[in-house]
Structure 1
């Protein structure tokens, strides 16, 4: 990886750290999820980066893929566990990180298990180490607190404009797997739960990405909208609320039509199968010959 790419990764990491720090300091019961999302994304932009995907706010049993919709009235509940998962990129060089905040001390160990699993995974994330070994470290740490890791959520290799670049970083022990490679960038993201230990798809879809630019049966308006979406976001995820200035108040309807025609892919929300509460900590690391260098430092943002 050349020095310019490394600099952009580090700058994106600093922007994301500032955004998550602000989120941890600001989030409170009664706060609108829309306000929280816009706060995080606004700080990312203030630091000269762009959001790499819409800010995910996972409340209680919602593990991933919920972001505020246009005019969203959802608020942070009392006694809740809240995951804030956000991304920043500069010229397509992405950092992806998450923190958990809780408003009931009964969930402090649930969050601590995820945080310490992340720390231990990073400590073991050295060139040549198998992903199966990393999964074993995460699982052992989580279970030592009496909780379960979520087995069907994983971290991932990150490449330029590719948030999920084909290699998974498991949260449970698996046989073998890919090796950690020097010079690559990975997101490591342990999830912990007091539920069943796996997620299923919910009904809501709030995040999308371009699936194909050659979808058939698009009229001129839809084709123009698709071109505008791709030119702004490339293959990175987005939300209809980011399109209101470009497409007007009908942005959500346009996105729905493009999704039905196969031009866009919609990410369903992911919820814990047993309705268990979920905590998450995530960081993006750059692998060097000495090990993994965290680019965001989310473990230091723990409540």
Structure 2
């Protein structure tokens, strides 16, 4: 690698302020897009309309930024908006003819992504269509996903290993009498790469393995947590009307809903057969099971972890807790910020002991099920 190539590669990680700004700009847009879609999740709302609103908002907002830069940059949808209901796990993003609608008490998973110059911010959130607090098994499964996500946030840090996260999130889910869904992967993100080589496996088993990896400073990850009240095993539904196709290559994104449907039926099959498109199958748990999905993008900055995509949860009331598990409590008590090496402002304690104000962030309040993400 030449000196110029090495310099260019170095400038494309979080050591470049411009890169950080692009990640955070993409995150701000996708967070607002998520808020918009959630506000439209009402009984009788067509799922395809919700998906189109999410994608349209991202395209519109990204079109308003970086317009006057000398070098034209790509920007827009990094992952098409998906709205998956009840026991449907993920990737439901239908073509225009689909008539599926939401109903009262549906448990809805919304998944979407935005990019600026290939720097991707992804988010997924779970919302129940009802007034008042969420209770019962729906509350259990959402709280399990959120608590597991908070633990993952604290363990995805420089020096920790991917297998540490896999083991921890399974333990958290079990505390809520739920399971982590098999086959879900959390990936490192790079410019124009949504599925980097470093991977966190959701469930370790003999049939599914990933390479051991250690998290490093200036890396970016999409942490993907899916919990279920069922067995955590999924099946595929490979219907062309509901399958999602995403092709992120050579700085172009292809959305299947933008295609004329009859031609899409034939053309997409040929593209998949020739390995030109990557299929994302619609996944399902057993009917009657509840599935929750939480995904966030985290920047591993020199001063700690920066969670840039999220949305506040509804009020959740569950009779299950992790308060009796000292290991989970210890994970949740970890901060997300890094202590400064030397210097730093000191705050004296009652007995004259010094406390570093730049130290770790406040731990998550496990007694509150609507705890806000750590900043």
Q: Hey, what does 1:36 align to over in structure 2?
A: 50
Contact between 2:127 and 2:313, CA under 8 Å: does it hold in 1?
no
Partner of 1:102: 128
Aligned to 2:32: 18
Unaligned runs of 5+ in 2: 1-12, 63-74, 316-375
Q: Structure 2 residue aligned with 1:83, among 109, 129, 136? A: 109
| Partner Cα distance (1:108, 1:42) in 2 | 31
Distance in 2 of aligned mates of 1:287 and 1:135: 18
Larger Rg: 2
Q: Which has the higher mean CA deviation after the structures are superposed, 94-103 or 48-57?
A: 48-57
Unaligned segments of structure 1, at least 5 residues? 212-229
Deviation at 1:250, TM superposition (A): 3.0
Higher-RCO chain (CA-CA 8 Å, sequence separation at least 6):
1
Aligned partner of 1:198 among 207, 230, 233:
233
Indicate which of 290, 294, 297 corresponds to 2:310.
Answer: 297
Q: Does 1:116 align with 2:147?
A: yes
Pick one of 225, 244, 258 that aligns with 1:207.
Answer: 244
Q: Within the alignment, does 1:127 sit opposite 2:158 as a pair?
A: yes
Q: How many angstroms does 1:210 deviate by?
A: 4.5
SS at match of 2:50: helix
Report matched runs for 1:155-170 at 5 Å: 155-170=186-201
Structure 2 equivalent of residue 223 of structure 1: none
Contact 2:79/2:246 (8 A) holds in 1: no
Matched positions, count: 278
How far the C-alpha of 1:274 sits from its partner, in A, is 7.1
- Taking the aligned partners of 2:50 and 2:271, their CA distance within structure 1 comes to 28
SS state at 1:190 partner: strand
TM-score by length of 2: 0.68
1:149–1:18 Cα change, 3 Å: same
Higher helix share: 1
Residue in structure 2 matching 1:8, options 2, 9, 22 = 22
Aligned: 1:243 with 2:259: yes
For residue 237 of structure 2, give the secondary structure of its aligned residue in structure 1. strand
For the residues of structure 1 that align with 2:271 and 2:88, how far apart are their CA atoms?
Answer: 26
CA distance in 2, matches of 1:4, 1:289: 16
Matching residue of 2:118: 92
Q: CA RMSD in A?
A: 2.5
Q: What is the TM-score normalised by the length of structure 1?
A: 0.83
Q: CA deviation at 1:251?
A: 3.9
For the pair 1:71 / 2:97, whether they are aligned, the reply is yes
Task: Tell me which moved more, 102-111 or 5-14.
Answer: 102-111
- Number of the residue aligned with 2:184: 153
Give the structure 2 partner of residue 264 of structure 1: 277
Per-residue CA deviation, residues 241-271 of structure 1 (Å, 9 max, x unaligned), is 1234xxx863443323333444333222112
- The answer to whether the aligner puts 1:185 opposite 2:198 as a matched pair is no
Which 10-residue stretch deviates more, 143-152 or 252-261? Answer: 252-261
| Aligned 8 A contact 1:199 1:270 in 2 | yes
The Cα of 1:111 is off from its aligned counterpart by: 1.1
